[in-house]
């Protein structure tokens, strides 16, 4: 893998903006399951308890770097990458909880040809085995098209000269994926390790879907979005089903 895996430590990048909802649980899982060199927080000037939570982890571990950014997800990810000092680093979403032994499981896939290891996401609301099986299959296909950064281990050398276009508030993960493969590295997509993703309910509502389309047009990635239409359609239908089911339960109570 271009260096010994013994006692390897990695920088971990998290993008935050008013992320208090799941951040404490997210960071706790990272420190328990990843050999962290530094935790790099790129924050969009949060107005909630996000930075207070981050300070608590800094007091406990003393290895947290906080950077502020007013731009897009692209500029935030670029700032994070520019601060990496380790051979490998991770992106983790602020509302994702890593599985037990995440890094140990990912480490088994590392070799000279691998540029990144992607752990699949499982939505926290999915309980039905049949729906879960379909969800995992669709999510795996989506990665082939656009990549993903919710729980991803990346070889620093593969992106050390990357300049992510600032306009990419969406599909910046697709740009990173394409950059790594164009460098000649392989991407490994895994069902294990994985993360449990506690996505906000607003993401896959009709309004959320329309916002993704609008952002895609602005970013010039409409062609990619069209290729993802069927998969995103499943996500939206499932989210609407979940929303209605929750309302029915509340009404019954």
Question: Could you identify the residue written with the tokens 């109570």?
Answer: 253
Q: How is residue 113 annotated by DSSP? A: T
Quick: pLDDT tens for 165-210: 998 877 899 899 999 999 999 999 999 999 999 987 665 555 555 5
Q: pLDDT tier at 123 (50, 70, 90 boundaries)?
A: confident
What pLDDT does 145 receive? 74
> Do residues 167 and 137 lie in contact, with contact meaning Cβ atoms separated by under 8 Å?
no
Q: What is the mean pLDDT of residues 33-61?
A: 99
> Do residues 92 and 13 lie in contact, with contact meaning Cβ atoms separated by under 8 Å?
yes
In sequence order, what are the residues at sequence separation of 6 or more whose Cβ sits closer than 8 angstroms to the Cβ of residue 181?
Answer: 115, 187
Q: pLDDT tier at 128 (50, 70, 90 boundaries)?
A: confident
Q: What is the mean pLDDT of residues 103-121?
A: 97
Region for 2 from its dihedrals, namely left if φ exceeds 0, alpha if ψ lies in -120 to 50, beta otherwise: left
Q: pLDDT tier at 127 (50, 70, 90 boundaries)?
A: confident
> Do residues 99 and 33 lie in contact, with contact meaning Cβ atoms separated by under 8 Å?
yes
Task: Domain ranges for the chain, please list them.
Answer: 10-200
Q: Is the pLDDT of residue 68 over 90?
A: yes
Q: pLDDT tier at 163 (50, 70, 90 boundaries)?
A: very high
Q: What stretches of the chain show up as alpha helix (H) in DSSP?
A: 20-33, 50-61, 73-82, 102-107, 129-146, 172-182, 206-219, 222-227, 229-252
Which CATH number is 10-200 given? Answer: 3.90.550.10
User: Shortest CA distance to 151 belongs to which of 110, 102, 203, 188?
Assistant: 102
Structure token digits, residue 6: 């013994």
pLDDT over 70 percentage in the chain: 77
Strand pairing class (114-123; 151-155) = antiparallel
What pLDDT does 235 receive? 57
Tell which wins on pLDDT, 68 or 7.
68
Q: Which of 5-14, 73-82, 209-218 has the lowest mean pLDDT?
A: 209-218
The mean predicted confidence, pLDDT, of the chain is: 85
What pLDDT does 83 receive? 98
Q: pLDDT tier at 144 (50, 70, 90 boundaries)?
A: confident
Quick: pLDDT tens for 208-235: 555 555 555 555 555 555 555 555 555 5
């Amino acid at each position: 893998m271009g260096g010994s895996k013994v006692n390897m430590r990695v920088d971990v990048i998290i993008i935050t903006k008013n992320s208090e909802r799941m951040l404490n649980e997210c960071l706790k899982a990272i420190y328990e399951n990843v050999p962290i060199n530094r935790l790099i927080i790129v924050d969009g000037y949060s107005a909630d308890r996000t930075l207070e939570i981050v300070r608590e982890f800094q007091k406990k571990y003393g290895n947290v770097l906080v950077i502020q950014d007013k731009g897009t997800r692209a500029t935030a990810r670029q700032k994070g990458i520019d601060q990496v000092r380790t051979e490998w680093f991770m992106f983790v979403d602020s509302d994702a909880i890593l599985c037990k032994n995440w890094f140990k499981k990912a480490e088994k896939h590392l070799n000279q040809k691998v540029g990144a290891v992607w752990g699949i996401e499982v939505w926290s609301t999915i309980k039905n085995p049949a729906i879960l099986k379909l969800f995992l299959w669709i999510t795996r296909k989506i990665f082939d098209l656009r990549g993903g950064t919710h729980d991803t281990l990346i070889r620093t050398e593969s992106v050390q000269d990357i300049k992510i276009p600032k306009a990419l508030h969406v599909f910046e993960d697709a740009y990173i994926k394409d950059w790594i493969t164009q460098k000649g590295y392989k991407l490994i997509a895994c069902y294990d390790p994985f993360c449990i993703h506690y996505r906000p309910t607003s993401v896959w509502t009709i309004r959320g879907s329309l916002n993704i389309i609008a952002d895609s047009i602005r970013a010039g990635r409409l062609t990619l979005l069209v290729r993802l239409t069927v998969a995103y359609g499943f996500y939206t239908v499932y989210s609407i089903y979940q929303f209605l089911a929750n309302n029915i339960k509340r009404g019954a109570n």
